[in-house]
Amino acid sequence: MKRPKNAAERQARLNRILEILDQLYPDATCALHHSNPWELLVATILSAQCTDVRVNLVTPGLFKKYPTIEDFASVTPELLAQDVRSTGFFNNKAKSIVGAAKRILTNFGGKVPTNIEDLLTVPGAARKTANVVLGTGFGIASGVVVDTHVLRISQRLDLVRQKTPETIEKALIKILPQDRWIKFSHQIILHGRALCVARKPKCIKCPLDSLCAAKDKTF
């Protein structure tokens, strides 16, 4: 891949990457099953260090057992931990979920906050989780979700040079149109699962191959 020499070439390359992502994943959306923003918040907290597939196996029974935010606020973290045990780190996750329910009931009238500042005060809702909930739950582009796939692929595609999720998000916000912040993350996550996997990426099958000069490309 020939590296872009100037801003115009970098923009043209980015536009081409976005076009290809649209062709590959036109209907990309969050893989976590939910019926409202609160359920999405719970599912996203559970998804830390756990697959979406596993979370989607757990949440139907969980939301049937605790159908309202009040139910989650009244259960003890110790009891809830047993319900989410299979997602890993269950004690911390249960504590966060119960704490989130209590704070939302006490401070926000039982409604998940719709702005990033308030949502970040909710237990378990760090920047990534907050962006997921606002983007998917409310259609609010508060930032770019940077999970392991977005971190890895944005570096492989040379869209960013930063190393941490926080700095990568800031860099992506600068180059991506705001109306792409939500969809971009969903598309990159799907691409990371389908082709641009962590080990031995399937470069020969990847339509982005000609735009990529990753050091760990396979041939």
Task: List residues with catalytic annotation.
Answer: 128, 147
Q: Strand, coil or helix: what is 20?
A: helix
Element (H, E) at 168: helix 165-175
Q: How far is Cα of residue 100 from the mean position of the Cα atoms in its chain?
A: 18
> What are 213's two structure tokens?
């000069």
CB 98 within 8 A of CB 77: yes
E strand intervals along 108-210: none
Q: How far is Cα of residue 2 from the mean position of the Cα atoms in its chain?
A: 31
The residue among 87, 75, 2 whose CA lies nearest residue 45 is 87
What lies within 8 Å, CB to CB, of 48 at 6+ separation is 89, 93
